[in-house]
Amino acid sequence: VSGQTGTELRATDAALIQKIVQQDESALAALYDRYASLLSSLLNRILRDTQASEEILQDVFFLLWRNAAQFDPARGSLPGWLTVIARNRAISRLRRHDPSSGEELLETTVIVPANLENAMTQQQLLGRVKGALENLSAEQRAAIELAYFEGLTHTEIANKTGDPLGTVKTRIRTAVESLKRNLLS
């Protein structure tokens, strides 16, 4: 505690993006401090390789530095967008696809149903996401994790688990319905 009253508030993502457009390096550092942990956790979960995860983490923030002017915070959530880019790049690396630059996703809009700028909200959401995942059956949860963290399609999940394709499709659809219901409730 600084000993002062809390008059100093952190800048919003939108304000920091504006500063990055004006080449303010400290604004990028502030956004890195805000979201690096979230992205690092995601990348390590997907890749299970610290070095590769850190390379992508750096690339994603450098992409933000170079293209901040194209990101319109009014159209979507910055952490949501960063998460989509990081996941896309990690899955490409994992599956040995040509590594995407991520620039094709610059126009992607991601609307997160909460404000992830805020550490306390992140913490509350984490509880809700965990609760939503725990509400799924073990098979549904495994299928969702294979899709999200390994980037597998319906057919690939069916091949990996040995379950019929129709079963896998139904399982994932009902899991997604349940997640949607629980995350929005």
Partner 1 sequence: MNGHPNRPEDFDLYALGVLEGEEKAAIESHVPTCAECAAKLAEARGRIALLALSAPRVEPSPAVRERLMRQVHASAESTGARRVQGAAEPERSAGFFGRWWAAVLVPACILLLFVAARLRNENERLRRELGQEQVTLQKQQKQLDEARHAQALLESKDTVSVALAQQPGMPKGDVRVMYNAKMGMAMCDGWVEPAPANKSYQLWLVPMEGKPISAGMIEGGSINPWMVKLPQGMPAKAFAVTLEPAGGMPQPTGPMVLVGPIT
Instruction: Indicate whether 125 belongs to the interface with partner 1 (CB under 8 A).
Output: yes
Per-position DSSP letters for 32-92, written without gaps between them? HHHHHHHHHHHHHHHH--HHHHHHHHHHHHHHHHHHGGG--GGGS-HHHHHHHHHHHHHHH
Give φ, ψ of 93 to 5 degrees.
-65, -45
67, 92, 100, 115: which one contacts partner 1 (CB under 8 A)? 115
135, 139, 149, 163: which one contacts partner 1 (CB under 8 A)? 149
Angstrom distance (rounded) from CA 55 to CA 66: 16
Instruction: Indicate whether 92 belongs to the interface with partner 1 (CB under 8 A).
Output: no
Question: Which one-letter DSSP state was computed for residue 11?
Answer: P
101, 118, 137, 167: which one contacts partner 1 (CB under 8 A)? 118
Instruction: Indicate whether 136 belongs to the interface with partner 1 (CB under 8 A).
Output: no
21, 52, 94, 112: which one contacts partner 1 (CB under 8 A)? 112
- Residue 179 makes CB contacts below 8 A (sequence gap 6+) with 132, 133, 136, 144
In whole angstroms, the minimum distance from the beta carbon of 120 to partner 1 comes to 4
Instruction: Indicate whether 138 belongs to the interface with partner 1 (CB under 8 A).
Output: no
Instruction: Indicate whether 32 belongs to the interface with partner 1 (CB under 8 A).
Output: yes
Instruction: Indicate whether 21 belongs to the interface with partner 1 (CB under 8 A).
Output: no
